[in-house]
Amino acid sequence: MWTSITVGTLNNLVDWFIPANVVHDVDMRKQARIFLYSHLFGPFIGNTVPLALYYFDPKPGFQITVLAVSITGFWIFPFLLRAFGHYYLLATISIENLIFCILWSCYFYGGVTSPTLPWVLTIPLLALFYVGSSPRMRLAVLTLFAVNLAGFLYLYSVVGHPVSSMPFSAMEGLGMVSTVATSLYVAMMALFYANALAAQVELGAEMREHMAKATELRAAAREAQLAGAAKSGFLANFSHELRTPLNAVVGYSEMLLEDMNAATEPEAIADVQKIHAAGHFLLKLVNEILELTKIEAGKMEVNFEPVDLQALTGRVGERHRPLARQNGLDLIVSCDPGLATVMTDPAKLESALGQLVDNAINFTREGRITVTAARAAGQNGEEAVISVRDTGIGIAPERFGSLFEQFNLAADTSASKYGGTGLGLALSKKISNLLGGDLSIESKINVGSCFSIKIPLVAVDAPQGREDQDVAEAMSEADAYHHRLRTLVGEAGREARRLPSAAADIRMAVNG
Amino acid sequence: MAKILLVEDNEHNRDMLTRRLRRSGFEVCCAVDGPSGVAMASSEQPDLILMDVALGAMDGWEATGLIKRSSRTAHIPVIALTAHALASDRETSVSIGCVDFDTKPVDLPRLLSKINACLAVHS
């Protein structure tokens, strides 16, 4: 517990020195952190050597001052990094300074048998920590190390070296201090890496858990989609099977009506008319179910083409006028002449509008039905608004929300009373959405209702059926989640790869 | 009197449409499946063929394809009848060589206007 708190606090301190251009590079930020750790805390440990030399050397000279200044100079590096950036340049200069400090003290105090020689071990360790995974930088710092070492050996053995003024017992003391300090230093760096590693392993396990969950989500979404498709397929087939016998009922009763004599058998005609009307109603219901399931299965094809709205509204008016007149209603159709042509699917729009007019006639006992088409400014540009206004019984506002849900009206007593199938409004709404628009309602009890289909005047990509869209949304969300996790695991993996011994199981998560 | 060949596998639909077309003044002959439809197109030489798409083993598209490939029957116009008003059905019917396309359930006045328009062009 305390280590994680300490590490967190230290990270905050260290992060203050990290410049903006390094913060956004995850790999470089990690390298910079260890660079800053060693530079902030290293000089405390490193300066024990010049202190020990000063204490043990009977004749301390300039070489100790040079060493102390060089080691203390490491403290400037974090500030230089914050001020100027250039991480790799600073890292290289720092490594050179480290090599200099160590070889300098060895040169004056015992050469290849110097008590400060253990410090040489920290050179490749730190150098490789600083530069990260770049092969070019690794080669550069190792070459730097080799060249320095060669220069040192040449200078020491060929050119010559000063004779140490320290007695053997002093050398022993220096050796003790140097070994303890080196061990402390290496232990500090190892502790830092062990902490980083533990965090990585934990992260890796968490990632794997999330990945498994994401896979589960995808499977569930796919299953739901398949179940939905199976349901829609069954309904579509079943509706189709129902249509064939219904065609016979409607067709034969129509033929009977053509043959019968109104003068001699009026009662029989009335009966056959009832059979015909009931058959027609059933056929309509089945067709609506078929249309709805087609939309839900995303199988409804939409063909956008230039459509003359004046002609279309006129056609719908002509088709429904006999029924309206039969119910004692006026049916008025008017179309804004400025709205001659729109891009839409004529058959679908005609069907949606027909449903609304049908609905209006069914729910109006007296007065008139007015169909208007006009241009209006919508939220996303211009729209064509086709409205069907009636003087019927009206709808209470609290029922607006559930009005477009399929089968809703079917459960309502008023539906059978007024002869609606209960699917017409749901179908109109779905078709309006399919055409890139929407269906809205305004109504007042006992005053009348107004249903408006709004379709955009610019060509748009037709959206899919709603359920399909929901599943698609869920799928794409799961995909995005999966992708994000993969990116994170990839990052974790890249960092882990720099810790060769422990990376194996995270790499498994990355590859698997 | 124009002669129409109706290819339809459902007994009720076939009976109804035959009687109603006869009442409208056409001479009508019937086939109950694809192969007999192809054979009758050749032997009866009708002025027009009404082809149900959803037949048994040989569907209406296949039968129409055979009719269009035979030199004895290629000239006879074919109107396809389908239960699904899908755009893809329309495309298929055009690509196979049908002159027109109508959906079931049959709306008699609409079908008659299509038949008359078709016969006017081909006579």
DSSP state string for B46-104 = -SEEEEESS-SSS-HHHHHHHHHHSTTTTTS-EEEEESS--HHHHHHHHHHT-SEEEES
Q: Does A301 touch chain B if contact means CB atoms closer than 8 Å?
A: yes
A247 vs B19: CB contact, 8 Å cut-off?
Answer: no
Q: Does B23 touch chain A if contact means CB atoms closer than 8 Å?
A: yes
DSSP annotation of A369 reads E
* Residue A245: closest C-alpha in chain B: B12
B86 vs A301: CB contact, 8 Å cut-off?
Answer: yes
Question: Minimal Cα–Cα distance from A495 to chain B, Å?
Answer: 54
A301 vs B105: CB contact, 8 Å cut-off?
Answer: no
* Residue A251: closest C-alpha in chain B: B16
Supply the pLDDT for residue B90.
74
A251 vs B88: CB contact, 8 Å cut-off?
Answer: no
A283 vs B10: CB contact, 8 Å cut-off?
Answer: no
Q: Which of A240, A255, A303 sits opposite B83 (nearest CB)?
A: A240
Number of A/B CB contacts below 8 angstroms equals: 37
Mean pLDDT of B10-38: 93
Supply the pLDDT for residue A43.
92
The residue assigned the tokens 């027609």 is A280
Q: Which of B10, B19, B86 sits opposite A244 (nearest CB)?
A: B10
Q: Which positions in chain A touch B87 (Cβ < 8 Å)?
A: 301, 303
Torsions phi, psi for A371 (to 5 deg): -105, 120
B83 vs A243: CB contact, 8 Å cut-off?
Answer: yes
Question: Minimal Cα–Cα distance from B71 to chain A, Å?
Answer: 35
Are A424 and A474 in contact by the 8 Å Cβ rule? The answer is no
Say whether A331 sits in a helix, a strand or coil. strand
User: Using CB atoms within 10 A of its CB, is residue A489 exposed (0-12), middle (13-18) or buried (19+)?
Assistant: buried
Q: Which positions in chain B touch A303 (Cβ < 8 Å)?
A: 87
* Rounded Cα distance, A196 and A370, in Å: 74
Q: What distance lies between CA A359 and its chain's CA centroid? A: 42
More confident residue, B29 or B123: B29
B105 vs A258: CB contact, 8 Å cut-off?
Answer: no
Q: Does A251 touch chain B if contact means CB atoms closer than 8 Å?
A: yes
Supply the pLDDT for residue A218.
93
* Rounded Cα distance, A165 and B116, in Å: 125
Sign of CA dihedral A127, A128, A134, A140: positive
Q: Which positions in chain B touch A245 (Cβ < 8 Å)?
A: 12
Quick one: residue A329, left, alpha or beta (phi over 0 = left, psi -120 to 50 = alpha)? Answer: beta
Mean pLDDT split into 10-residue runs, chain A, 512 residues: 60 83 80 88 90 86 91 93 89 93 89 86 87 87 92 87 77 88 89 83 89 93 86 75 84 88 85 90 82 77 84 90 89 84 86 90 88 84 89 82 62 49 81 90 87 78 48 59 58 50 43 42
Supply the pLDDT for residue A490.
58
Q: Does A233 touch chain B if contact means CB atoms closer than 8 Å?
A: no
Show which of residues 74-93 on chain B sit within 8 Å of chain A, judged by CB atoms: 83, 85-88
Are A461 and A436 in contact by the 8 Å Cβ rule? The answer is yes
* Residue A302: closest C-alpha in chain B: B87
> Could you report the predicted ipTM of this complex, rounded to two decimals?
0.80
Q: For Cα atoms B22, B28, B29, give the angle at the middle one, nearest 5 degrees.
A: 150
Question: Minimal Cα–Cα distance from B55 to chain A, Å?
Answer: 13
Q: Which positions in chain B touch A247 (Cβ < 8 Å)?
A: 12-13, 104-106
Torsions phi, psi for A60 (to 5 deg): -65, 135
A301 vs B87: CB contact, 8 Å cut-off?
Answer: yes
Q: Which positions in chain B touch A347 (Cβ < 8 Å)?
A: 85
Q: Which amino acid is at A474?
A: A
Closest listed residue to residue A297, CA positions, set A351, A363, A226: A226
The pTM of the whole model exceeds 0.80? no
Domains of chain B: 3-122 (3.40.50.2300)
Q: Which positions in chain A touch B83 (Cβ < 8 Å)?
A: 240, 243
Q: Which of A31-45, A384-398, B28-42, B52-66 has the highest mean pLDDT?
A: B28-42
The token duo for A500 is: 């060769």
A301 vs B83: CB contact, 8 Å cut-off?
Answer: no
From the candidate CATH numbers 3.30.565.10, 3.40.50.300, 3.30.1950.10, 3.40.50.720, the one assigned to the domain spanning A301-464: 3.30.565.10
Within A363-452, where are the H helices?
400-403, 413-418, 424-434
Q: Where are the domains of chain A?
A: 2-166, 216-223+475-511, 301-464
Q: Which of A247, A252, A303 sits opposite B87 (nearest CB)?
A: A303
* Rounded Cα distance, A207 and A485, in Å: 7
Q: Does B14 touch chain A if contact means CB atoms closer than 8 Å?
A: no
**List of E strands, A113-264:** none
* Rounded Cα distance, A421 and B17, in Å: 28
Closest listed residue to residue B109, CA positions, set A353, A308, A254, A257: A254
* Rounded Cα distance, A280 and A212, in Å: 53
